[in-house]
Amino acid sequence: MKILFVSSSGNFFGGEKIIFSLAKEFKKFNYDIHVLIPFKGKFSQELEKENINYEILNIRNSFDFKCIPTFIKIIKKIKPDLIHSHGFSPNLFSRFVSFITKVPVICTIHVFQNHSFKNFGIKGLWYQYIEKFSYILSKKRCINTVVGKYLIKDIEYLNPVVIYNGLEKSDMQYLPPEKIKTFGMAGRIVWLKGLEEAVEAFSICLIEYPNIKFVIAGEDITPEKKWEKSLKEKIKKLGIEDKVEFMGFVDNIEDFYQKIDCLLLPSKKEPFGLVVIEALLRNKIVVASNTTEILSKNYFEEFLINSKNILDFADKLKKLLKINSNEINRIFYDIKTKKLLENFSKENMINNYFLVYKNLLKKNQ
């Protein structure tokens, strides 16, 4: 089988890690793997390490229709059996190209923003129209997947299939901490992650627990670094600069997890942040927003928060700061935690995507 993955970024964040994991695994099965990325960066460096073929296709946004001729040329050259795209704009143009070339396409939706007129104005109406139109064109040979059920209510018209993200265990062994002393966040520095809300809740905890710390791993990929500037202004205003460490982009994620006891993910949009699995696999407690699907359903619901309610957020962190090692061990050696990690394993993810690939190809024979 020849698979062409299409990425929305040349950076190496959650979505790119999933593509990378899929590409590596299917390459082990002797599948012919190719990846399209919009620009060279950390992601292309990782692909080169694994000798995975990639090409540049500069899809910048949903208005970038001039990418279609180049996309078609790449399809004719590579001759893939199927396309697997990730992200709004790559999904959009992959559906158009699938309609033109007759190559089946899987479109994975990691994060969905409500493209209403209220939120986006005229652009919101464009996003709604163009996505529906692209799906109608490619419907016979397109399957859409989402990484969480939480997203389905906004995109029912795409008839999506739920395939949860999964990761393999770390080579490093982490024991649960004796006490929670250091909180951390990892990923892009952007408004939807809830970073400013996190540092505000953290600053409230500092009044009672002055020795705690906050570590942030990741970078702001906007040219003007507007989100990072806003975050640092917030930290300065709160007077907690000496308690917050910025690590920047981390090549080895273990460097980050060795520093923290508890991961925070007060995200405003993501139903399934990949860092949640990363942290749980390393015996880290996770405090996340109540849209984080993986932690709901009787698993870690006691640590789910409304990121807009700063006082509630701070109270949840204080609760963690009070517990002892026995309580921490109870959380991690509970049968529910073990079951959770089994359900969201890399093996499950790979198997589920393989079945979708197989069904789509059979449907289009």
Mean pLDDT of 252-278: 85
Please tell me the number of Cα atoms within 13 Å of 199 on its side-chain side. Answer: 25
Whole-number average pLDDT of the chain = 87
pLDDT score of 173 more than 90: no
Mean pLDDT of 307-336: 83
pLDDT given at position 188 = 85
Count of CB atoms within 10 A of residue 323's CB? 14
pLDDT given at position 90 = 94
Compute the distance between CA of residue 146 and CA of residue 8 in angstroms, rounded to an integer. 16
pLDDT given at position 128 = 78
Q: Give the list of residues 6+ apart from residue 212 with CB closer than 8 angstroms, or none.
A: 180, 181, 182, 183, 202, 205, 206, 243, 321
pLDDT band at 48 (very low <50, low <70, confident <90, very high): very high
pLDDT band at 351 (very low <50, low <70, confident <90, very high): very high
Mean pLDDT of 4-17: 90
The candidate with the shortest Cα–Cα distance to 301, out of 290, 316, 310, is 290
pLDDT given at position 115 = 61
Compute the distance between CA of residue 333 and CA of residue 331 in angstroms, rounded to an integer. 6
pLDDT score of 74 more than 70: yes
283: left (phi over 0), alpha (psi -120 to 50) or beta: left
* Crossing angle for the helix pair 195-206 and 310-322, to the nearest 10 degrees: 50
Q: Which of the residue ranges 170-179, 193-202, 226-235, 308-317 would you say has the lowest mean pLDDT? A: 170-179
- Spatial contact of 147 and 164, defined as CB atoms under 8 Å apart: yes
Number of helices (H), then strands (E), belonging to the chain: the values are 14, 13
Residue percentage of the chain with pLDDT more than 70 = 89
pLDDT score of 6 more than 60: yes
Mean pLDDT of 79-89: 94
pLDDT band at 299 (very low <50, low <70, confident <90, very high): low
At 187, the amino acid letter reads G
pLDDT given at position 249 = 86
pLDDT band at 159 (very low <50, low <70, confident <90, very high): confident
Compute the distance between CA of residue 23 and CA of residue 31 in angstroms, rounded to an integer. 9
pLDDT score of 277 more than 90: no
Of residues 343 and 202, more confidence is placed in: 202
Compute the distance between CA of residue 21 and CA of residue 165 in angstroms, rounded to an integer. 10
| Domains defined for the chain, CATH in brackets | 2-166+345-363 (3.40.50.2000), 182-343 (3.40.50.2000)
Query: 191-249 pLDDT, tens per residue?
Result: 888 899 999 999 999 999 999 999 999 888 888 899 999 999 999 999 999 999 999 88
Compute the distance between CA of residue 187 and CA of residue 193 in angstroms, rounded to an integer. 8
In this structure, the dihedral spanned by the alpha carbons of residues 192, 198, 201 and 204, taken in order and rounded to 10 degrees, is: -140
pLDDT band at 294 (very low <50, low <70, confident <90, very high): low
pLDDT given at position 263 = 92
Of residues 122 and 7, more confidence is placed in: 7
Compute the distance between CA of residue 270 and CA of residue 192 in angstroms, rounded to an integer. 8
pLDDT given at position 176 = 82
The DSSP-derived string for 63-124 is: T-TTHHHHHHHHHHHH--SEEEEESHHHHHHHHHHHHHH---EEEEES------HHHHTHHH
pLDDT given at position 178 = 86
pLDDT given at position 5 = 98
